[in-house]
Amino acid sequence: MTPPPEFEEIVGGDVEAAERARLARVHALLVQAGPPPELSPELESGPTLGMTLTRRPGRARRRVMLLAAAVAIVALAFLGGYIAGNGGGTASAEVLKLTGTPAAPHAFASLQVEPVDEGGNWPMRLSVTGLPKLSGHSYYEVFLVRHGKPYAPCGSFKVAADRATTVQLNAPYRLRHSDTWVVTRQTPGSHEPGAVVLKPV
Amino acid sequence: MEIALDTPARLRAVPSRPSAEPVPAEQATDSELLVRVADRDREAFDVLYHRYIRSVFGLALQRLRDRDRAEDATQEMFAAVWRSAGSYRPERGPAAPWLYAIARNAIVDRLRSRSELPVEPPDMTADEPGPAERAESSFVSWRVHRALETLPEREREVVELAYWSGLSQSEVASFLDIPLGTVKTRTRSALAHLADVLEGELA
């Protein structure tokens, strides 16, 4: 353990008694407190996205809530399909709008990120229109982007011609506040991100 | 592969609530920041995070003695701040003790988590501090580390080198390549600044 510095060496002799006593108290507190901890780069980088999403309720509470919600669900059942079909979600979800790049100029998408589950998964729902149908075994991939670079894949999908498509995806990563996503076009066998077809608005 | 994004698009909350704040977040008090966080002001949250991250993580590390679990507790603490900032009432007291209580609860939750083994308390001798002393010591660390965040970088630097790097004032001067008198002036100024902040209880 590093020995604390000498108070006299720090403050010197030309300080009046009241101020000396005040500084001495701070000196003692600094010695008592010890050094602040080293932060990991992850903590240093700032708040994560997860901090600003509402946590999902625990199992017991969820059961009660589900029971209470059941009546409302039955009563509003006919609305459910409408809501699901039109991108409705929970108030705590976050939504990222994506627009087509020159590689897919008519494409548009909405990526809804749900609160993390107990296992550390971030369920996501991507609703996309205007992407061209790909030939052969090519497919689209959703990539998590961190610091301007593709960081990790979050799921792949295909689309039918002239059809809106909605797919469920997942990001099993500790998301950060500045994270974002893009959609790329992938060819079979390639693990590198392909051409970006959708990027954040 | 680098992906060029024309605009720094980020996730936005639903529904979004635009707000115009008269005081920059960096200059706002902790209490003001908490009020803004209750209005879902992410910039205020970011500033509050950086003011308290070392205090929170330090406290979690002290109690949990495991960096991974301390990081998880820290994440949970700030998530709790985001969720519960609306319950903070500035007229009832300063923000620091309120945040400390939130942090302590997050750590206790982590300790009680059924999915994780609790930390075994070490064998204690008569000379070691009891729970009350440890709690007081934790709060001292919390306050001091938070107060350190208020220092200008050049003052914080000399304090950290003098107190926790084992360097004498002469060695600090040599290390930073500045006159010894400047080191002493900055260190004394830092102590005075810390005294002001700690006496003001971080309102």
In-domain check, residue A16: yes
- Which is more confident, B128 or A23? A23
- Looking at the structure, do residues A158 and A192 belong to the same domain, yes or no? yes
Residue A162 burial by Cβ neighbours in a 10 Å radius (0-12, 13-18, 19+): exposed
Domain definitions of chain B by residue range: 26-116, 150-203
Q: Is residue A139 part of a domain?
A: yes
Taking an 8 Å cut-off on Cβ atoms, the answer to whether A37 and B198 are in contact is: no
Q: How many domains does chain A have?
A: 2
Interface ipTM: 0.75
> Does residue A78 form part of some domain?
no
Among chain A residues, CA nearest to B76 = A51
The pLDDT value recorded for residue A69 is: 52
A179 located within any domain: yes
Q: What angle do CA A142, A47, A123 make, to 5 degrees?
A: 35
- Which residues 6+ apart lie within 8 Å of A151 measured at CB? A143, A144, A145, A173, A179
Q: Which of B45, B41, B69, B44 is nearest to B57 (CA)?
A: B69
Q: How many CA atoms lie within 13 A of A122 on its CB side?
A: 25
| Residues A62-79 as b or e (16 or more Cβ within 10 Å = b) | eeeeeeeeeeeeeeeeee
| Strand ranges, E, within chain A | 94-100, 108-113, 122-129, 139-146, 149-157, 165-171, 180-186, 195-200
Q: Are residues A6 and A98 in the same domain?
A: no
Q: What is the pLDDT of residue A115?
A: 82
A141 and A104 within one domain:
yes
Asked whether residue A105 falls in the same domain as residue A196, the answer is yes
pLDDT bin (cut points 50, 70, 90) of residue A78 is very low
- Burial zone of B94 (CB within 10 Å; 0-12 exposed, 13-18 middle, 19+ buried): middle
* Beta-bridge partners for A112: A95, A125
Going from the C-alpha of A3 to that of each of A6, B92, B159, B164, the distances in angstroms are 9, 40, 14, 8
Residues A189 and A122 occupy one common structural domain: yes
Q: Is the pLDDT of residue A177 over 60?
A: yes
Q: Which of B 19-58 lie inside 8 A of A, CB atoms?
A: 42, 45-46, 49-50, 53-55, 57-58
Average pLDDT over residues A6-28: 88
φ and ψ at A187, to 5 degrees?
-105, 145
| Whether residues A31 and A107 fall in one domain | no
C-alpha angle A172-A174-A178 in degrees, rounded to nearest 5? 120
B chain contacts of residue A201, beta-carbon cutoff 8 Å: 7, 9
> Do A151 and A135 touch, CB atoms closer than 8 A?
no
- CATH number for the domain that contains residue A142: 2.60.40
Considering the domain delimited by B26-116, tell me its CATH architecture.
Orthogonal Bundle (1.10)
Higher pLDDT among residues A151 and A139, named by residue: A139
Residues A124 and A157 in one domain: yes
Q: What percent of chain A has pLDDT over 70?
A: 77
Q: A37 and B4: CB-CB below 8 Å?
A: no
The CA distance from B189 to B158, in Å, is: 10
Print burial letters for B114-141: b (CB count within 10 Å at least 16), e (below 16): eeeeeeeeeeeeeeeeeeeeeeeebbbb
Please say whether the beta carbons of B60 and B77 come within 8 A: yes
pTM of the model: 0.61
State how far residue A145 is from chain B, nearest Cα, in angstroms: 8
- For residues A128 and A183, is the Cβ–Cβ distance under 8 A? yes
Would you tell me which residues 59-118 of chain B have a C-beta closer than 8 angstroms to some C-beta of chain A?
61, 67, 71, 74-75, 78-79, 81-83
Check residue A93 and give its pLDDT.
Answer: 67
Selected residue with higher pLDDT from A3 and A71: A3
pLDDT value at residue A68: 53
Same domain? For A124 and A161 the reply is yes
Question: A50 and A148 share a domain?
Answer: yes
- Tell me the shortest Cα–Cα distance from A155 to chain B, in angstroms: 18
**Given pLDDT bands bounded at 50, 70 and 90, which one contains residue A81?**
very low
What integer pLDDT is reported at residue B189 of this predicted model? 94
**Which pLDDT score, from 0 to 100, does residue B9 have?**
43
Same domain, A156 and A194: yes
Touching check for A41 and chain B: CB below 8 Å?
A: no
pLDDT given at position B188? 93
Tell me, what DSSP letter sits at residue A145? E
Residues A103 and A181 in one domain: yes
Does the residue A41 lie in any domain?
Answer: no
Burial class of residue A20 (count of CB atoms within 10 Å of its CB; 0-12, 13-18, 19+): middle
Chain segment A84-138, per-residue pLDDT in tens? 444 444 445 678 889 988 888 889 999 998 888 878 888 999 999 999 999 888 9
Query: CB–CB of B191 and A26 under 8 A?
Result: yes
Indicate the average pLDDT of chain A: 78
- pLDDT value, residue A60: 44
* Residue ranges in chain B modelled with pLDDT below 70: 1-22, 113-132, 134-135, 201-203
The answer to whether residue A104 is domain-embedded is: yes
Average confidence (pLDDT) over A12-25:
89
Q: Please name the fold of domain B150-203.
A: Arc Repressor Mutant, subunit A (1.10.10)
Predicted confidence at residue A117, as pLDDT, reads 82
Chain B interface mutation, best of A14, A30, A53, A54, highest count of B Cβ atoms under 10 Å: A30
A180 and A103 co-located in one domain: yes
Residues of chain A neighbouring B145 (CB-CB closer than 8 A): 33, 36
Q: What is the pLDDT of residue A62?
A: 52
Of A31, A113, A196, the CB nearest to B11: A113
Among candidate residues B116, B18, B191, the one with its CA nearest the CA of residue A118: B116
Q: Residue B96: CB partners within 8 Å, gap ≥ 6?
A: B30, B142, B143, B146, B201, B202
Q: Is the pLDDT of residue A75 over 60?
A: no
Whether A169 is in a domain gets the answer: yes
The pLDDT of residue A85 is 40
Domain, as residue range, for A163: 46-54+90-200
Give the pLDDT confidence score for residue A66 in this predicted structure: 52
Does B175 contact chain A (CB < 8 Å)? no
For chain B, strand residue ranges (E) read: 12-13
A58 — pLDDT class (breaks 50, 70, 90): very low
- Whether residue A122 lies inside any domain: the answer is yes
Tens of pLDDT along B98-154? 999 999 998 888 887 645 444 444 444 555 666 667 667 788 899 899 999 999 999
Going by C-beta distance under 8 Å and a sequence separation of 6 or more, which residues neighbour residue A28? none
Q: Residue A30 CB: number of other CB atoms within 10 A?
A: 24
Chain B residues within an 8 Å CB radius of A34: 141, 164
Q: Does B2 touch chain A (CB under 8 A)?
A: yes
Q: How far apart are CA A18 and CA A125, in angstroms?
A: 64
Q: Which two tokens stand for residue B41?
A: 């002001």
- Is residue A46 less than 8 Å (CB to CB) from chain B? yes
